[in-house]
Amino acid sequence: MPEVIQPIDVEEIMKEIRLEIQEKGLNESMLSFQDVDGGEILKGLRNGEKYDPGEFERLVQQVNLRSNVPWYHRVEGNALANFIKKVIRKLIRFMIIPVVEEQNAFNGSAAQCLNQLLAYVKEQDQKITALERELQALREKED
C-alpha cells in the first residue's frame, strides 16, 4: 500500500499559539524592515571593505557569463513605434556596432584579468593552508 501523508492541522496549532502569545503577553510589535536604511552599509560594501571569497568567485563567474554584450536588441511597441524604432536601429548601427565590439574586447580582457586574479588567489590560498598545517604540526611537535 502506498504511504500517505498524514495531514497536520496547522490552523489548530496556530490557535493554540495565538492563545499562548495572549496569555504570556508577548509583544508582537517590532521594528519594520521598511523603516531601515542600509545606505551606510551599502557604501562599505561597494567600496569592498570586506573580502568575501565566495562572492568574489561568483562575481568572476558572472563577469565571464555577461562579458559579451550583443548590440542587437529587439524593439517593442505598437506598429508605428516599432517601425520608427527599427529605422533608428538601422540608422545608428554603423555607430553602435564598433562601440559594442570595442566594449566587448575590453570586457573580454577584463574577464581574463579577473580569471587570472582568481586563479592566483586560489593558488595562494592553497599554499597558505598547507603552510598553516605544517606550522601547526611543527608546533604540536615542539609541545
Partner 1 sequence: MKIIQVLATVSFGDAVSNDALALQDYLQKMGYTTNIYAENVDLKLPKGLIKKIRDLPVLKEDDVILYHLSTGTELNYQVPKYKGRKILIYHNVTPPEYLGPYNPALARLCQYGLDGARYLAGKVDYCLAVSEFNKQDLMRMGYQGTIDVLPVLIAFEDYKKEPNSKIIRKYKKAGTNVLFTGRIAPNKCQEDVIAAFYCYKKYYDPDARLFLVGSYLGMESYYAKLLAYVKELGLQDVYFTGHVKFDEILAYYHIADLFLCASEHEGFCVPLVEAMYFDVPVIAYDSTAIGSTLGGSGVLMKEKSPALTAGMMNRLYTDADLRAKVIANQKIRLKDFDNDRVKEKFHSYLKTFLKGRNS
Q: Which residues bind partner 1 (CB under 8 A)?
A: 3-8, 10-11, 13-14, 17-18, 20-21, 24, 26, 28, 30-31, 33, 36-42, 45-46, 52, 54-55, 57-59, 61-62, 64-66, 68, 70, 72-74, 76, 115
State in angstroms the smallest separation of the CB of 11 from partner 1. 8
Cβ atoms within 10 Å, residue 107: 17
Residues in contact with 71: Cβ distance below 8 Å, sequence separation at least 6, in sequence order: 93, 96, 97, 100, 101
Q: Which is nearer to partner 1, 126 or 142 (CB)?
A: 126
State in angstroms the smallest separation of the CB of 22 from partner 1. 10
State in angstroms the smallest separation of the CB of 74 from partner 1. 5
Q: Which residue shows C-alpha cell 495531514?
A: 7
With CA atoms as reference, report the closest residue to 108 among 69, 55, 140, 76.
69
Q: Which is nearer to partner 1, 1 or 141 (CB)?
A: 1
State in angstroms the smallest separation of the CB of 36 from partner 1. 5
Residues in contact with 103: Cβ distance below 8 Å, sequence separation at least 6, in sequence order: 69
Q: Which is nearer to partner 1, 28 or 142 (CB)?
A: 28
Q: Which is nearer to partner 1, 51 or 141 (CB)?
A: 51
Cβ atoms within 10 Å, residue 121: 15
Q: Which is nearer to partner 1, 33 or 94 (CB)?
A: 33
Containing H/E element for 24?
helix 10-24
